[in-house]
Amino acid sequence: MKAVVCRAFGPPESLSLEEMPAPALGAGQVRIAIKAAAINFADTLMIQGKYQEKPPFPFVAGFECAGLVTEVGEGVRHLRPGMRVIALSQQGAFCTETVADAAGVIPLPEEMSFAEGAAFPVAYGTSHIGLVDRGQLKAGETLLVLGAAGGVGLTAVEIGKALGARVIAAASSPEKLAIARAHGADETIDYAAEDLRTRVKELAPKGVDVVYDPVGGDAFDAALRCMAWDGRIVVVGFASGRIPTVPANLLLVKQIAVTGLYWGAHMRNNPQRLASSLMELLGLYREGKLKPHVSHALPLEDHARAFRLLMERQATGKVVLTND
């Protein structure tokens, strides 16, 4: 098979497209011919050695893909060769073929493209568990989404609306905010041109109930000072590059809860909740409440450019690598 291989930590240009043996198929697993695989911010960190997990060299990055089942292992009953599927791959997804645990493989809806399917589980799964389980978002509450046009931010906008919240989307350009509004945002803030704290207080004088934060840095600092009584901040990443610190006195005064979410850890610690979350999300998709946004789909050979689009914030929604 062909695979994008990382042999040493470095920039995307250090990755190489190589021929390598296909992984062996074990019991409870399926082999998948990959048609599309999505790049996540975590992948950009992993190839640079900045992620919380560092796999041994050489490795193939990528967590999520969509494709066709070509072979099933012993004990697999719900999948068969020829099925269109979405998969979570622990073997790496930036390749032409992978082996995945059947528990992490679900049928791809007929109306969903391979690119949309590849873009679906991590971003939507992160936002769904983040908002429902960690943020306890309720209908009628106000949700502030930072980085609202990014891979997870845009899904948080959609899921927040589906849950009945009033959604304020914050991003760094009018173009990105237009996309957030098209996906359901009620109000928008351009924090490259406007003061985030001032604008939030204008839009929500009593403060926001939930903040969804994949950005960190200055945006987190400002959002912390815009919380309503008993508000919740869900921390999912640090795209700004700065991990913020939390003044505990601010948490005390307004009874604010700051909670973290590492979605990938659910694969080990709570796979049942991960699976049920994805099923709920596919239900929302079929109802027309979720519309995966893929701004760029590039062939596997253009992997370095695809990574750069994400790292340099030229993309909105998801960037996907494809195999014809």
Q: What is the pLDDT of residues 163-214, one digit of tens each?
A: 999 999 999 999 999 999 999 999 999 999 999 999 999 999 999 999 999 9
Please give the pLDDT value at position 271.
Answer: 81
- Residue 193 has, within 13 A of its CA and on its CB side, a CA count of 10
Query: Is the model's pLDDT at 69 over the cut of 90?
Result: yes
CA–chain centroid gap for 166, Å, is 21
Instruction: Say which residue the tokens 């068969």 belong to.
Output: 80
The mean pLDDT value for 143-160 works out to: 97
Domains in the chain, ordered, with CATH? 2-120+292-322 (3.90.180.10), 123-264 (3.40.50.720)
Q: In the predicted model, what is the mean pLDDT of the chain? A: 95
> In one letter, which amino acid is 201?
K
Angle among Cα 277, 281, 285 to the nearest 5 degrees reads 170
pLDDT for 274: 87
Scan for tokens 């971003």, then name that residue: 123
Q: Global pTM? A: 0.92
Tell me which residue has tokens 């701004």: 295
How many residues can be counted in the chain? 324
pLDDT, average across residues 77-81: 95
Which whole-number Å values give the CA distances from 189 to 103, 149, 197, 200, in the listed order? 40, 12, 10, 8
- % of the chain with per-residue pLDDT over 90: 92
Which pLDDT value is given to residue 272?
A: 85
Instruction: Give pLDDT, residue 296.
Output: 96
Residue 98: is its pLDDT beyond 90?
Answer: yes
Cα(69)–Cα(90) distance, integer angstroms: 16
**pLDDT tens profile 251-276:** 999 999 999 999 988 878 888 898 89
Q: What is the pLDDT of residues 215-256, one digit of tens each?
A: 999 999 999 999 999 999 999 999 999 999 999 999 999 999
Residue 15 pLDDT grade (very low, low, confident, very high; cuts 50, 70, 90): very high
Task: Give the pLDDT band (50/70/90) at residue 295.
Answer: very high
Q: What are phi and psi of 230, to 5 degrees?
A: 65, 30
Query: Backbone phi, then psi, for 142, in 5-degree steps?
Result: -105, 130
d(CA 117, CA 10) in angstroms, rounded, equals 29
Whether 318 contacts 63, CB under 8 Å: no
The pLDDT, as a whole number, for residue 269 is 87
The DSSP output letter for 231 is E
Enter the DSSP assignment of 134. I
Q: How far apart are CA 45 and CA 211, in angstroms?
A: 23
